[in-house]
Structure 1
C-alpha cells in the first residue's frame, strides 16, 4: 500500500532544515515542506498551504507549524490522514508573549535582524544545548534564510492566532502529540492539554529535548514519527 505524502510545517524562523533528519528517514514518501513566509495571518498561511498540498496527506507541524496545522484541521479536516503536533500550544497568545513579539518586531525594524536569532536561541533548546555551537549555527542559518520581513509577518500571525482548544475535540484522524521534557517555550503541560482535548490521541515525551526536538533529539523523534505514520 502506498503511504500518504507528508506535509511538514516548520516553526518560527525555521526552514526545511528543521526536519532534515526526518525528511531523510521518509525518503520513500512524497514530501512537501510548507512555505509560511509570505502571509501575516495563520488562516492565510493555511489556505496557501492547502492550495499546494496533495489531495490527502499526513500533516506534521512544529511550534508555529502546529498553530497552522490546527487551522488546517479546521479548514480541511477530510484531507488529513494523520496529524502530528510537535512542541506546540493550542492557546491564543498571552499579553506578555504578544508584548515580547512587538518588542522583537520593533528591534528588527530599528536595529536590524542580526541579533534576533541569537536572542531567541537559548529559549529554542534544552538548557544543556545552550552552548551547542553546531545547533546554534543551524538555527541562525534558518533564521537568515527566512529573513527579517518574513519574521515580522510570522510574529504578526502568531500574535493574532485564535485559541484552538474549543475545536480540538472535532479532530478524528489518528493524532500524535510530541514534546521535549525540557521544552521551555511550550512546556509539557501545553502538550498534555492538547492530548486531553483530541480524542484517542497519543502523547510522546522525549527525554533530553527542548523546543526544537527534531534537531535536538532526531533519532527519538524520527522513531516516534515512524512508529506513528507506519501504523496502518
Structure 2
C-alpha cells in the first residue's frame, strides 16, 4: 500500500468531471492495513465526526469529504445534490485509488450511497459495511423517526427544556439557509442521536462539537430512496451494524437490509444510538474487526 501515492497518509484532492464542469473532491487517509472507503451521513454532514481511530490501527481508512461540504467543491445548482451525484464521486475516488476492489462503509445517508454504489459497481466492492442506515426512506420511515424523536423529547424535556425544539429541528421546520445555522441545529438536536448523552456528557461533548452541517446539500432533488427489491442481488460479504436505540435508522431498518442481502451478518450494538463509533467504540470496532477476520479467513 505504501507505494500507492493515492493512499499516502493525509488529505488528497482529485478533480472529477461532472456534466460540463470539473469539481474538486477531497478525501482523507489514515491508518494502515486493508483499505476501507468511508462515506459520512447527511446529506451535508462534514466527514470529521466519522473518524474511527480504533479501526485506523489495523485498516487504511479513506474518509470521503462529500461535495458540498468542507473544502470539496460546490455545485452551481444545489438541486443536483442527490444520490446519483454522491455515487458518481464515490466511484471517482475508488477509481483513483487504483485498487481492484475496496471495502466500503456507509453511515446513515452514507449507507444509502454505499448500497447504491455496491449495486451499481459490485465488482469494485470487496465487502460492504452498512452502519445505522436503511434500505428505504419515505413517509413510513420519516413518521417513525418523528415519533421516536417525540418520545425522546417527552422523556427529557423536564430536565432539558431545549429538547422541546428537537422535533422542529429534525423535520426542518426551522431549517436555516446557511452553514453556521445548519450546524447549530444539528449540534443542538444531536443528544437524541445517543443512547445516553446526558449521562455521559463529558465523554460525548467533543463528538457533538465535531458535527458540522452544510446547508446546500439539503436542497438536493432526486427520486425517493428504495432499494429493497434490488438488495438480494448483492453477493459481497456484508455487515449490517446498528445501535439498539437508534431513533432514526434503528433495528427495524437494519433487519430489513439483513433479511434482503444473502449471507449478510447483523450486529446490534447494545446501549447505543446512531453514533456507535463514538458512544460504544469497543463494541463497534469489535464487530467490524470480527467481520473483517471472517472475510479474510473465508478468502474474500
How far off its partner does 1:129 sit? Answer: 1.6
Residue 76 (1) aligns with residue 121 (2): yes
How far off its partner does 1:118 sit? Answer: 3.1
**Which protein shows a greater Rg?**
2
Aligned residues: 221
Give 3-state SS (helix, strand or coil) of 1:103's partner.
coil
CA contact (8 A) 2:187 2:211 kept: no
Structure number with greater CO (CA < 8 Å, separation at least 6) is: 1
Is 11-20 or 80-89 further displaced after alignment? 11-20
| Partners of 1:110 and 1:17 in 2: CA distance | 16
How far off its partner does 1:36 sit? Answer: 1.8
CA contact (8 A) 1:83 1:173 kept: yes
Change (3 A) 1:163 1:209: same
Quote the residue 2:110 is aligned against.
Answer: 65
Quote the residue 1:52 is aligned against.
Answer: 93
Quote the residue 1:163 is aligned against.
Answer: 226
Q: Which runs of 4+ in 1 moved over 6 A?
A: none
Q: TM-score, normalised by structure 2?
A: 0.66
Q: How does 1:11-160 map to 2 (within 5 A)?
A: 11-12=41-42, 13-26=45-58, 29-38=59-68, 40-53=81-94, 54=97, 55=99, 56-94=101-139, 100-105=170-175, 107-109=176-178, 112-113=181-182, 115-126=184-195, 128-130=196-198, 132-143=201-212, 147=213, 150-153=214-217, 155-157=218-220, 160=223
Question: What does the per-residue CA deviation read over 1:141-192, in whole Å, with 9 as the maximum and x for residues that have no partner?
Answer: 331xxx4xx3430x34598542111111111000011111111111211101
CA contact (8 A) 2:35 2:60 kept: yes
Q: TM-score, normalised by structure 1?
A: 0.83
- Judging by fraction of residues, say which structure has more strand: 2
Computed over aligned residues only, the root mean square deviation of the Cα atoms, in angstroms, reads 2.8
> For structure 1, which runs of at least 5 residues remain unmatched after alignment?
none
Change (3 A) 1:63 1:76: same
- Judging by fraction of residues, say which structure has more helix: 1
Change (3 A) 1:118 1:177: same
Residue 215 (1) aligns with residue 285 (2): no
> For structure 2, which runs of at least 5 residues remain unmatched after alignment?
1-31, 69-74, 76-80, 147-167
